[in-house]
Each structure stands twice: as structure tokens, then as C-alpha cells.
């Protein structure tokens, strides 16, 4: 299922989930799409099982992997981190890089302000010792490097802003299974057992955390799966206690 944007960029639900909060959120979105299409079922015991044994109905490589894994019952809190760290998810990240919606992110260094202070000092000293002016661009270069870089590009953010929770699959992409829309929990839209989706405690913000994009820390996981260096791409939403995947926390 794809969503057109005013900029002419088309995002699938799983692409929107990845941009919003990293690989873990994308994995949740894929599972939501499979449940929505009656391709998998989730038992009261939390086992995810494919309805067909031949992979019928998969529209992406991540979906195909999840359906293959679900041929035998797989715990809800196992299938999500498995998909989030899969080769297919890395390929999805590479695809977003190729479309210019993501870039190689960098964590913000805790001493980023020091380089800026040096640049200002060199600039001031330059009026009495002109040679100091030569050090200003070098110090500024260090400053911009240490300041970090968001893994989601301006084009990616613009495309993501056009995505709405038009259905329950996109609701998962934007908010995660443990998110809420109005007064209703997203997981309730799928009739999942109330003891299956567990909302994790608020993650502590690290001084070394990256600036994050759109408020998500979900990209160190992005980086972990593909080397993009982004925050915990999965911390955005967590289901069944499964490890947080992409995109750093957050996400709704």
C-alpha cells in the first residue's frame, strides 16, 4: 500500500514506518499489513502463523521473509526483531538511500560546542593576528562534523509529512502498535490480545544521542543494520517486549 505525496514521492507503508522510526517500526508495519490482508494470524498465545504455506500475498521482500518465517508459529516478540535485523531490511534502507530519502547519519558528539567556540575565538583573534583567520574554516568543519547529521533527508521528511493514518496499517507506520490514535490504542485496531503489546518505559536521552529526525531516536538501529549510524531505529515502538529496533526511540 503506497501513499502519494504532494512532492510526487510515493511511500509504501513500510517505507513510511522506516522513515518515521527505523527498521523496527518498518517490521511492525509489515506485520500489520500481513494481518490486515489476512495473510497471517496472531493467536491469543502470541504466535504469528502464515495462512498459506507458499508465501502467497507477499508484495515486498520483507513481507516474503516474514511469511516464510511464519510458516510455523513464531512468537510475536521474536518475529519483529528478526525482520528488523534481516538482510531484506538492510535492502530497504539502501533503497531509501538511493531515493534520496535517507542519508548516512552521524551521532552528535557531546563536545560539538567546543569546535564552535574555537572558531569564534580564532575569528576574534584574527583581527590582531590575521593568521588566525585561516583556522576558522577548519574549526567550523570540525563543528559541522561533530554536530551530527540526521539520517532522514529534507526530502524524506517532506514525504513523511504527507503520510496520514488513513488506515490501520498506516497508523502502525506512524505510531507503532503501542501508539494511540485519539483515545484508542493502535494495537486494539487489530484485535490483538491486550497482554501482547507492551509499552516500554520512556528511554533515557543520552548526551551522545544524535539529534534525531522528526523527533525519533530511531536511527542508531538504522545504522546498526546498514551502517548508516542512526539512533535506535527501533526504539520507536516495541511489541511484545521484543528488542527495540530502529530509529531510536520514539515515533508516534
Residue 176 pLDDT grade (very low, low, confident, very high; cuts 50, 70, 90): very high
**Looking at the predicted structure, is the pLDDT value of residue 237 above 60?**
no
- pLDDT winner (highest mean) among 6-20, 74-88, 204-218: 74-88
What percent of the chain has pLDDT above 70?
A: 66
What is d(CA 39, CA 56) in angstroms, rounded to the nearest whole number? 8
Residue 3 pLDDT grade (very low, low, confident, very high; cuts 50, 70, 90): low
53-57, 109-113, 153-157: the lowest-pLDDT one: 109-113
Residue 142 pLDDT grade (very low, low, confident, very high; cuts 50, 70, 90): low
Cell numbers for 160, please give them. 513523511
Instruction: Give the mean pLDDT of 128-140.
Output: 77
The predicted pLDDT at position 173 comes to: 95
In the chain, where are the structural domains located? 2-105+151-249, 112-147
| Predicted model pTM | 0.65
The predicted pLDDT at position 1 comes to: 52
Cell numbers for 134, please give them. 585561516
* 3-state secondary structure (DSSP) of residue 41: strand
Residue 233: CA count within 13 A, CB half-sphere: 38
**Looking at the predicted structure, is the pLDDT value of residue 26 above 90?**
yes
72-121 pLDDT per residue, tens = 889 998 999 999 999 999 999 999 999 999 887 666 667 666 666 777 88
Residue 107 to residues 156, 217, 234, 235, 243, Cα–Cα distance (Å): 18, 10, 16, 16, 21
Amino acid at each position: 500500500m503506497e501513499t502519494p505525496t504532494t512532492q510526487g514521492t510515493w511511500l509504501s507503508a513500510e517505507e513510511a514506518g522506516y522513515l518515521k522510526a527505523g527498521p523496527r517500526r518498518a517490521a511492525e508495519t509489515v506485520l500489520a499489513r500481513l494481518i490486515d490482508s489476512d495473510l497471517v494470524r496472531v493467536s491469543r498465545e502470541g504466535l504469528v502463523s502464515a495462512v498459506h504455506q507458499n508465501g502467497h500475498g507477499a508484495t515486498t521482500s520483507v513481507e516474503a521473509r516474514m511469511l516464510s518465517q511464519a510458516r510455523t508459529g513464531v512468537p510475536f516478540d521474536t518475529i519483529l526483531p528478526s525482520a528488523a535485523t534481516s538482510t531484506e531490511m538492510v535492502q530497504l534502507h539502501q533503497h531509501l538511500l538511493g531515493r534520496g530519502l535517507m542519508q548516512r547519519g552521524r551521532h552528535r558528539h557531546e563536545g560539538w560546542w567546543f569546535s564552535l567556540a574555537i572558531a569564534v575565538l580564532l575569528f576574534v583573534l584574527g583581527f590582531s593576528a590575521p593568521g588566525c583567520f585561516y583556522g576558522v574554516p577548519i574549526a567550523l568543519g570540525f563543528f559541522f562534523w561533530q554536530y551530527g547529521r540526521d539520517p532522514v533527508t529534507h526530502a524524506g521528511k517532506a514525504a513523511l509529512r504527507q503520510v496520514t493514518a488513513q488506515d490501520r496499517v498506516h497508523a502502525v507506520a506512524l505510531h507503532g502498535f503501542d501508539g494511540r490514535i485519539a483515545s484508542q490504542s493502535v494495537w486494539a485496531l487489530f484485535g490483538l490480545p491486550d497482554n501482547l503489546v507492551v509499552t516500554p518505559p520512556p528511554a533515557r536521552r543520552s548526551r551522545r544521542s544524535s539529534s534525531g529526525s522528526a523527533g525519533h531516536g530511531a536511527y542508531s538501529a538504522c545504522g546498526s543494520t546498514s551502517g548508516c549510524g542512526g539512533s535506535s531505529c527501533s526504539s520507536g515502538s516495541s511489541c511484545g517486549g521484543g528488542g527495540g529496533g530502529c530509529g531510536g526511540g520514539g515515533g508516534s
